[in-house]
Amino acid sequence: MIELNQQQKETILQYLEEFNEKGTIVNAGIESDYKSFDAQRVVAIPHLRELVDRFLNKKITLAEFKVESESYCRKYPYWGFKNFSGQMQLNQYTLNIDDGKSEEFLRETIAIPNNIEEAKNKINSMSDYLVKLKEDTNNPKSIPRVSQTYMLSYFWEIQNPISWATYYGSTKKVLLGLGIGLDVANSYGEEYSIYLEVINQIKELFEKEANLKEKYPLWFIEHVLWNQFVKNKPTEEIKGVKSINTKKSISKKKNLAVGEWTPPIIADIEALANNKETEWSINKGLKPEKAFETKLRLSFILLGYDTTELGQGTGRQPDGIAVSTGVEDGDYAIIYDAKARENKYNVGTNDREILEYIRKKSEELRRARINRVYFVVISSEFDESSTSLNLLKEVFRKTRVPITFLKASDLLFIIETKLENIYINHSQLEHLFLETGLLTREKISDTLGVR
C-alpha cells in the first residue's frame, strides 16, 4: 500500500490551488469551464453506456461495436479515446485478431469489475492474452500493445464514473513526478491498483483539506492533474555552463517539461529557439540560429526520420527535410524551417517564402515518389493572431500542404514521448501534422495516446 507523504500532499494541494485560480481545462485545443465540460460528459455517458451494454449483452458483434465506438468517440470527444491508445487499439484488436476468442474475451474484460482485485486480474489477463498472440504471429506489430489499462479503464469509467478512473498516461507522468512509484509495480494490474489507491487518497485529501464537494470527484482530480501536465514546468540550471561575455546572453537554463527522456545533445534546443547562445553553440563557434538548425536535424533523426539539413549556405531553401520510413501506405516528408526568435514568430511576409519552399520541394519529393508532404515551422513561441493564421490557410489553399507551427518545447515533448513509448511509429507521428495551425501540447498528448 502506498501512502502519500506530507510533501506530496502539500504539492497536490498547490496543484489544486493553481487549478482553482482559473477553473478551466483545455480539451482538443478548446478551453472551457470544467463544470461545462463535465456537463458534456454527463450528456454523453448514457449513449456510451448503452453502446457498451449492447455489446456486453451480445446484441451487437465486436465489429459493430468497433464501428459505433469510433463514431461515438468522435461525437463525444471528452475522454481522448479517439486517438492511438484508445480507439486505434480497439481497431487493431478487432481487425487483426482472428483466433475465435477475441470477441468474448473483450466482453469479459470490459465488463465492470466488482472490486479492485478483479480489475487487476482483468488487466493482467488481457496483457497475457496479447503477449501470447504476439508470440504466435509472424507480425507482432499487428497485435495491439500488451498494456491495455487505458482502454479497459475507459470502458469501466463509462459504466461507473464514481468508482473507476481512466488511467491516463498524462496523470501517470504527474504522479511519477511526485515520486509515486507506479512504474515499480509487478504487473499492469498492480500498477492500476496503486493508481486508483492514490487517486482515492487525493479525493480524501481534497474533501478534508479543501472541503471538496464535487458530484464527480474523480473527474475533478483528473482535471487538476491534467492542468499540471500541460503547463510548462519550472526551469533549472544546466550544470557546467560558464559565464562568457558575449553580445547575447548565454542561456543557463533548460526547460524540463519533457523530463528525463530528453537526450542531452538536444537539451538546449529551447534556448537556441529563443535565439540565445548556449555552451554547446559557443564551443562549436555557431550562432544560435545555425546551432538551432543543427539541433533540429538531430531531433528528427532521433524520431527516426531520414533527415537532410539544408538551410544556411545552400541558397534559398528551407532548413531541412525529414522523410519517414516504413509507413505501410507510403512514405511522407516533413519540410521544416527553423525560426530562432526572442519574441513570438510572426508569419508577416514570410508566407511567400513558405509558398516557394513548398512548391519547390514538393516537386522534388514527387519525383522521388513521395507524395504526402507537410511543412513545419519550429520556433520558441508563435503569433496566433487571425492575420497570421489566415496567411497560413491561404498557403494551404494554394498548395494543399498543411503548415504546422511547433514550439521547440513541444518538439522535445514529442521526442520524449516517442523514446519512452516504442510502439509509436511514423504513422502515428504523421497524424500530428495533418492540420494547418499551432500544434498544441494537448493535441500531441491526445494524438500520441498519453492523455
- Report pLDDT digits (tens) over 325-366: 777 778 999 999 999 999 999 998 888 999 999 999 999 999
Once rounded to an integer, what is the mean pLDDT over residues 257-274?
Answer: 83
Grid coordinates belonging to 221: 482530480
Q: What is the pLDDT of residue 240?
A: 31
Q: What is the pLDDT of residue 314?
A: 55
- The identity of residue 203, as a single letter, is K
d(CA 170, CA 166) in angstroms, rounded, equals: 11
49's CB contacts (< 8 A; 6+ apart) are 158, 159
Q: What is the pLDDT of residue 253?
A: 39
Lowest mean pLDDT among 101-110, 134-143, 441-450: 441-450
Residue where the block lists cell 479525493: 203
Stretch(es) of the chain classified as CATH 3.40.91.30: 236-448
Lowest mean pLDDT among 61-65, 121-125, 264-268: 264-268
Q: In a 3-state reduction of DSSP, which class is residue 341?
A: coil
Once rounded to an integer, what is the mean pLDDT over residues 376-381?
Answer: 96
Q: What is the pLDDT of residue 254?
A: 37
| Whether residue 255 has pLDDT greater than 90 | no
Full-model pTM: 0.72
Long-range contacts of 125-133 (CB under 8 A, 24+ apart): 126/152, 127/187, 127/188, 127/189, 129/105, 133/97, 133/99
d(CA 45, CA 263) in angstroms, rounded, equals: 42
Q: What is the pLDDT of residue 235?
A: 35
| Whether residue 5 has pLDDT greater than 90 | yes
For the chain, the maximum distance between any two Cα atoms, rounded to a whole number of angstroms, is 74
Mean residue pLDDT across the chain: 89
Q: Are 413 and 314 in contact (CB under 8 A)?
A: no
Q: What is the pLDDT of residue 259?
A: 54
| Whether residue 451 has pLDDT greater than 90 | no
Q: What is the pLDDT of residue 410?
A: 94
Q: What is the pLDDT of residue 107?
A: 98
SS3 for 408-445 is HHHHHHHHHHHHHCCCCCHHHHHHHHCCCEECCHHHHH
| Whether residue 248 has pLDDT greater than 50 | no
Grid coordinates belonging to 150: 487505458
What is the radius of gyration, based on Cα positions, of the chain? Answer: 23
| Whether residue 231 has pLDDT greater than 80 | no
Q: What is the pLDDT of residue 422?
A: 74
Grid coordinates belonging to 91: 481497431
Q: Are 354 and 375 in contact (CB under 8 A)?
A: yes
Once rounded to an integer, what is the mean pLDDT over residues 1-27?
Answer: 92
Q: What is the pLDDT of residue 250?
A: 42
pLDDT higher for 55 or 444? Answer: 55
Q: What is the pLDDT of residue 69?
A: 96
Share of the chain above pLDDT 70, in %: 92
Over residues 405-442, the pLDDT tens digits come to 999 999 999 999 898 877 788 988 999 999 999 999 88
Instruction: For 188-240, give the DSSP string.
Output: HHHHHHHHHHHHHHHHHHHHHHS----SSHHHHHHHHHHHHHHSPPPEEEPTT
| Whether residue 132 has pLDDT greater than 60 | yes
Q: What is the pLDDT of residue 316?
A: 77
Pick from 403, 415, 149: nearest CA to 262:
415
184's CB contacts (< 8 A; 6+ apart) are none
Q: What is the pLDDT of residue 315?
A: 58
Grid coordinates belonging to 360: 519547390
Once rounded to an integer, what is the mean pLDDT over residues 371-381?
Answer: 96
40's CB contacts (< 8 A; 6+ apart) are 76, 78
| Whether residue 242 has pLDDT greater than 50 | no
Q: What is the pLDDT of residue 233?
A: 43
Over residues 43-101, the pLDDT tens digits come to 999 999 999 999 999 999 999 999 999 999 989 999 989 877 899 899 999 999 999 99
236-448 has which fold?
A: Restriction Endonuclease (3.40.91)
Measured N-to-C along each axis, helices 34-56 and 149-159 cross at an angle, to the nearest 10 degrees, of: 100
Measured N-to-C along each axis, helices 62-75 and 102-110 cross at an angle, to the nearest 10 degrees, of: 50
Q: What is the pLDDT of residue 249?
A: 41
| Whether residue 150 has pLDDT greater than 90 | yes
Q: What is the DSSP letter of 120?
A: H
Backbone region of residue 87 per phi and psi (left: phi > 0; alpha: psi in -120 to 50; beta: other values): alpha
Q: What is the pLDDT of residue 73?
A: 92
Q: What is the pLDDT of residue 247?
A: 38
Q: What is the pLDDT of residue 241?
A: 30
- 320: pLDDT confidence band, cut at 50, 70 and 90? very high
pLDDT higher for 249 or 19? Answer: 19
d(CA 243, CA 232) in angstroms, rounded, equals: 26
Beta bridge partners of 33: 24
Q: What is the pLDDT of residue 244?
A: 31
Name the burial class of residue 281, with classes exposed (0-12), middle (13-18) and buried (19+) by CB atoms within 10 angstroms of its CB: buried
Grid coordinates belonging to 101: 476468442
